[in-house]
Amino acid sequence: MSGKIRTLVVDDEPVARARVLSLLRTEADVEVVGECATGSQVLSAIQEKSPDLVFLDIQMPEIDGVELARSFGGGKPAVVFVTAYDEYALRAFEVHAVDYLLKPFSAERFRSALTHVRHQLPQRQAAAGGSPDPPAGQHAGAPRPERHNRLIVKSSGRIHFVRIQDVDWCEASGNYVSLHVGPQTHLVRGTMSSIESQLAAGPFVRVHRSTIVNLDRIQELRPSFNGEYVIVLHDQTRLTLSRGFRQGLQARLGKPI
């Protein structure tokens, strides 16, 4: 993107605002256009300053940060939530936040969030230019359509947004489910059934009581014993298609095996 990233910093705690502001001063492509402590100040600043980016605390006086973000519109500004509480991660995801910083965060983690912003801003601004959003504050109470196209994973004190289409396969691991995403593995607390329901809109199918696979990653099926098959993925991972789930895979493929 051309020009500097016009940035608004929002937090009701002066010390927390000062922390973000001090980190932003080291970023040559960022211009801080204001700071706010309340929801009403934010709505006025959005209209007057037209920021590209808002660092937004969630627990705010008058109205919480997630509800504020809903009022901005989908294209601009981008939002990075800053909070001491991880239980808001799902709501942040629903309003398409670029990132989610858990206090206290390191300078390195802060820079990582800015990197995500730099990657996403051009696409967001292009989308906003093609389909203008309502002004800030307009329709603030109206529900917005939600697109659940990511999974939220908490790991080592960080919140990861994993795109569903990037998941290769999943396997049960006791009280957890392992999500295999390229060379990375994320451990999510939950059951296979709960993960399966979250993946339902994507190209996924249950092939074993403890395995779900992305159909787009399957390279071939090899007959095994007792009506089972070996599933070979593009990265040569081998999984088992058990007899009990064979019919489900056939239905998704639209042809008999």
Other CB atoms closer than 10 Å to residue 165's CB: what's the count?
12
CATH code of 108's domain: 3.40.50.2300
Q: Is residue 64 part of a domain?
A: yes
Q: Is residue 144 part of a domain?
A: no
Whole-number Å distance between alpha carbons of 117 and 99: 8
The amino acid present at 253, given as its one-letter code, is L
More confident residue, 68 or 217: 217
Q: Is residue 139 part of a domain?
A: no
Look up the domain containing 108 and give its range: 5-130
- In tens, the pLDDT along 26-64 reads 999 999 999 999 888 888 888 889 999 999 999 887 778
Q: How confident is the model at residue 148 (pLDDT cuts 50, 70, 90)?
A: low
In terms of Cα–Cα distance, which of 201, 203, 234 is closest to 220? Answer: 234
DSSP classification of residue 98: S
Whole-number Å distance between alpha carbons of 219 and 231: 8
Contact assessment for residue 99 and residue 113, using Cβ atoms and an 8 Å cutoff: yes
Whole-number Å distance between alpha carbons of 212 and 203: 10
CATH code of 225's domain: 2.40.50.1020
DSSP classification of residue 211: E
Q: What is the pLDDT of residue 251?
A: 86
The amino acid present at 108, given as its one-letter code, is E
Whole-number Å distance between alpha carbons of 175 and 146: 28
Q: Within this chain, do residues 119 and 217 fall inside the same structural domain, yes or no? A: no
Q: How confident is the model at residue 158 (pLDDT cuts 50, 70, 90)?
A: low
Whole-number Å distance between alpha carbons of 78 and 141: 19
Q: Is residue 142 part of a domain?
A: no
**For range 127-143, the mean pLDDT:** 44
Q: How confident is the model at residue 114 (pLDDT cuts 50, 70, 90)?
A: very high
Q: Within this chain, do residues 11 and 110 fall inside the same structural domain, yes or no? A: yes
What pTM, to 2 d.p., does this model score? 0.54
Question: Which of 58-62, 126-130, 227-231 is the least confident region?
Answer: 126-130
- Percent pLDDT > 70 in the chain is 86
More confident residue, 178 or 194: 178
pLDDT at 139 over 60: no
